[in-house]
Amino acid sequence: MDAIAIISIFVLAVFVGFEVVSKVSSTLHTPLMSGANAIHGVILVGAIMVCSHSSTTLELVLSVIAIVLATINMIGGFVVTDRMLEMFKGKKGANK
C-alpha cells in the first residue's frame, strides 16, 4: 500500500473519529473511553501475526506475552464496558 493511501486513510479516520464522538454526554464519557480502549485491543491481531512468524524464542516469548496482554485488553475491555452500560439496559422500554 502506498504512503498516500495510508495517509489518506489516516486523515479520514481522524475525521471519522472526531465527528463520531464530538457530541457525547458526560455520563457516557467513561463507557466511551472504555469501549475505545477495548477497540485498540485489536492489537491482538498484530500480536498474532508477529507470533505466527516469530522465529527466535525471544520473539516467541515476547509475542506470546503480547497476545496475552492484548487479549486482556480486548476481551476485558468489552466486558467491562458492557457492565458499565448496564444502567442503560432497557430500564424503561417506554422511552420514546
Task: Enumerate residues 6-25 that contact its own copies by CB under 8 A.
Answer: 6, 8-9, 12-13, 15-16, 19-20
Give CA–CA dist 21/78, Å, rounded. 18
94 binds its own copies (CB under 8 A): no
57 binds another protein (CB under 8 A): no
Query: What's the min distance (Å) between Cβ of 67 and its own copies?
Result: 25
Q: Pick from 54, 78, 79, 77: which is nearest to 65 by CA?
A: 54
Give CA–CA dist 66/68, Å, rounded. 5
The residue count for binding another protein (CB under 8 A) is 89
